[in-house]
Structure 1
Amino acid sequence: MATEHTLFRYDPGFIDGRLRTVWYGFLAVLLAVGGYAMWLRIDGGMATTNLTSTTPWGAWVAFYIYFVGLSAGAFLVSTLANVFELEGMHRVDRDALFAAIISMNVALLFVWADLGRMDRMYFPFLYRQFTSALSWEVHAYVAYIAVLVTELYLAMRIDLARVAERADGWRARLCGLLTLGRTDTSDEAAATDRTWLKRVGILGIPLAIFLVHGGTGVLFATAKARPYWNSGLFPIIFVISAVVSGTALVALLYVLRTRLFDGESTDRDLLGLLGKLMAGFVVVDVALTAIEALIALASLHPHEVETWNIVLFGEMSWSFWWFMVGLGWLFPLVILSKRSWRREPGPIAVAGLSIVIGIIAVRFNIVVPPQILPVMDGLPHGSYFPTAVEWLTSVGMIAVGLLMYTVGAEFLPLTPLERDH
């Protein structure tokens, strides 16, 4: 992909045709299962879930905030290249932006599934409530997606135009359409794109931190009836764990796409940098979580102490110790603690995958435990574990995201093409 010959024969995607067939077949199965489960959800309503008036938020809300975090984190990783111009990060900025767009769309799918009346998904835009944090959040999501799409267009526009000009076939025609008529590939045009890319990236930073994922944290932190959520640190923890998961996702995608699509060797210096970033962000996440726990326990507030008791030793302890602490923190830190492993694609991919899975437990531990305890004496205790419909619809929506990324990686120049004559 880095040579003039490649530019004339632009053909990104799987190197191994058999692997392509197996992967798309696997996704087809997941989509079919998820589609059937979604039909059951639509036909049977909330009766197909274990959600109740006591525990109204469950797996779908946990996955929603998880994918919002993935999106915000991946976007912030892209700013290291587009705004702060960190050396070497330009190789992953398009991957990060594309993953951020897809993650945000998957997050909104989970919001849609969680609505009691799924047909009213457009109501927040018709009936605005300016005193509602949730109403502001919905509009922030739309603005954020617009920023992401604009950034990805500016990042790829020159390469799209070069492919449209020099390559043949339907991929070249598709790339030509995606240029939106801006086909100038001169150095001046490239400089203009980079300038606007930086400006839009700067605009997106406060949007992602304060409104998108920090704002999602605010939705929980303002719930005074749930002291576990009602904390000033909550929005900050949301942002930090988002950066952890986003960095891990970008590192994982870089290794997989470089090996399976580009057929090139990975940049060891870039792997080392991504490894350091992952390790540093995990340490900060651990520290903030520990501080939050110590403040809650030292307060001796019964609701907070009992909630942390559920998380640490009760019915959610398996999620905390095995997934959040084990897969999300300890296992990747062991891998990333060795310098030589941080520069190898295998360990980086394993550490990234471990964090991506582990952060899911973080989201479940945020959403579920505080709802188990009653908000008033005399009310019943909650009890929640997702039903098969909740799990399978979640699998289907995640498969939608995987399909979107795969199709995009097959057709778009997510790897920057070298600037030749």
Structure 2
Amino acid sequence: MATESTLFEFEFDPGFRSSRLRIAWYGFIGVLLAGGAVAVYIRLTNGMRSTNLTSIVPWGSWVAFYIYFVGLSAGAFLVSTMANVFEVEGMHRIDRDALFAAIISMVVALLFVWIDLGRMDRMYFPFIWRQLTSALSWEVHAYVAYIGILVTELYFSMRIDLARIAERASGLRETFYAALTLGRDDTSEASRAFDQRWLKRAGIVGIPLAIFTVHGGTGVLFAVSKARPYWNSGLFPVIFVISALLSGTALVMMIYVLRTRLFDGESVDPDLLDRLAQLLIGFIIVDAALTAIEAFIPIASLHPHEIETWQVIMFGPMSWSFWWFMIGLSWVFPMVLLSKQSWRRTPSVMVLAGLSVVVGIIAVRFNIVIPAQILPVIEGLPHGSYFPTLVEWGSSIGIMAVGLLLYTLGAETLPLTPLGGDHE
């Protein structure tokens, strides 16, 4: 049994501070889930006829959201390694939030892959019939390994707290939290040190997995498409990783403020908030620079197909997404909010900056997926056009609502904030 938990004084009372807010939030999620369920039913019964996907534009909003949430997951995980692997001071406060958000984001990403499949019942086929020369086959297996690493890290990061909660609980609560410890209820310093060692080891293994196979590998899925010169670039996987760090950092910063205020009822650490904000500034600058380089290469090389693609993005059907969302929301507006130190230490301002980036990066994903498919790959073929149908929007919102529900249930149940007495 636990031997030293009594040395720590803590109070574990997760969940919303306001019951009215809880009811309103779950009601809001319920409405989104209901609408999404209707859209998914139409997708299941009518197939791809319910979408605007065609043989010319076979990848649409579902693929864009898929790579978006993979990026959120990889970015959030890499933020967690600053605490678990690199032991950056103060970052331990957000490592569990980051890991849990990374897990939920991957679940949502795979749901988007599932709904995009023509034969959704064959989703398990890559595990039975493997293709060693297929980047997609390797990617599917990498996702499974990556999720395993995330769950392992989350377990070792909170196992001590789960054991302490189980010791003080009774009835079903005791059974639930004891089950989550997997039978390891020792809270001694030796046990804590063991958990920290394996937490760090899992993080070290996860870093190359997240960078080179999970989100870098997702970029490879596009980069190996020779028929689409806009995608066929060695810089593409790098851009995927940087934008993942940008969106993941923004997500973690936003979650940290909201959950601390709405669930923990505590004050936000301004030093930690400032540190996250400075990371966000760096990632915005690098992301903007790499995008500028990616645009400069086809202009300098005068490659006609790539130039036409960038014309579509910047001045054609996707221009609103590029200028207002990608440039405006993911770069310019957050940089203004991050420009003053006093603003970087203000929780409400940083929530707005994080939300702006998280929404803006969606446009980045759409600008990756859609424009390259609009132009014909062979001269003489028709141009494509695409805008999601209500079924695509509705099902996408429903899938995201599943993620919101899963995160909320976890935040109301799990010790995502280290309990009193925990070491950094």
TM-score, normalised to structure 2, is 0.97
Aligned residues of 1:7 and 1:163 also touching (Cα < 8 A): no
* Counterpart position of 2:349: 347
Partner residue in 1 for 2:262: 260
| 2:323 is the counterpart of 1:316 | no
Aligned residues with identical type, % of pairs:
72
How far apart are 1:170 and its partner, in Å?
3.6
What stretches of structure 1 of length at least 5 have no aligned partner? none
Residue number among 10, 30, 33 corresponding to 1:31 in the alignment: 33
Deviations 1:313-366 (A, max 9, x none): 000000000000010000000000111111111111110000000000000000
CA deviations 1:254-288 (Å, max 9, x no partner) are 00000000000000100000000011101100000
For 1:154 and 1:8, the matched residues in 2 are separated by 19
Question: Is 1:9–1:167's contact at 8 Å kept on the other side of the alignment?
Answer: no
Cα distance, 1:168 vs structure 2: 4.1
In structure 2, relative to structure 1, the CA distance for the partners of 1:27 and 1:6 (3 Å cut) is: farther
- 1:359 corresponds in structure 2 to 361
Residues in 1 aligned to 2:167 and 2:26: alpha-carbon distance in whole angstroms: 30
Q: Identify which of 6, 15, 18 aligns with 1:16.
A: 18
Structure 1 position 6, deviation (Å)? 10
1:370 maps to which residue? 372
8 Å Cα contact 1:7/1:167 also seen in 2: no
Q: Aligned residues, how many?
A: 419
Pairing 1:5-404 to 2, within 5 Å after superposition: 10-168=12-170, 170-404=172-406
Range with greater deviation from structure 2 (170-179 or 383-392): 170-179
Measured after TM superposition, the shift of residue 418 of structure 1 is 1.7
CA distance in 2, matches of 1:264, 1:290: 41
Q: 1:8, 1:163 within 8 Å by CA — same for their partners in 2? A: no
Tell me which amino acid in the other structure corresponds to 2:316. Answer: G
RMSD: 1.5
Could you report, residue by residue, the CA deviation over 1:378-403 in whole angstroms, capped at 9, with x for unpaired residues?
10100000000000000000000000
Distance 2:158 2:255 in 1: 18
With over 3 angstroms needed to count, the CA separation of the structure-2 counterparts of 1:255 and 1:306, relative to structure 1, is same
- Quick one: which amino acid aligns to residue 365 of structure 2? R
Which deviations, in whole Å up to 9, do the C-alpha atoms of 1:207-251 show, x marking residues without a partner? 000000000000000101000000010000000000000000000
Could you tell me which amino acid in structure 2 is paired with residue 187 of structure 1?
E
Aligned CA distance change for structure 1 residues 59 and 203 (closer, same or farther; 3 Å): same
* Structure 1 Cα separation of the partners of residues 100 and 87 of structure 2: 19
Secondary structure, in 3 states, of the residue corresponding to 2:192?
helix
Amino acid at match of 1:237: I
Task: Sort the Cα spacing of 1:254 and 1:317 in 2 relative to 1 into closer, same or farther, 3 A.
Answer: same
Structure 1 CA distance, aligned partners of 2:121 and 2:238? 33
**8 Å Cα contact 2:74-2:210 kept in structure 1:** yes
Is the CA contact (8 Å cut-off) linking 2:9 and 2:421 kept in structure 1? no
> Which TM-score applies when normalising by structure 1?
0.98
- Could you tell me how far apart the structure 1 residues matched to 2:422 and 2:321 are? 51
Q: Deviations over 1:89-112 (max 9, x none)?
A: 000000000000000010000000
Inter-CA distance 23–7: structure 2 relative to 1 (3 Å threshold): farther
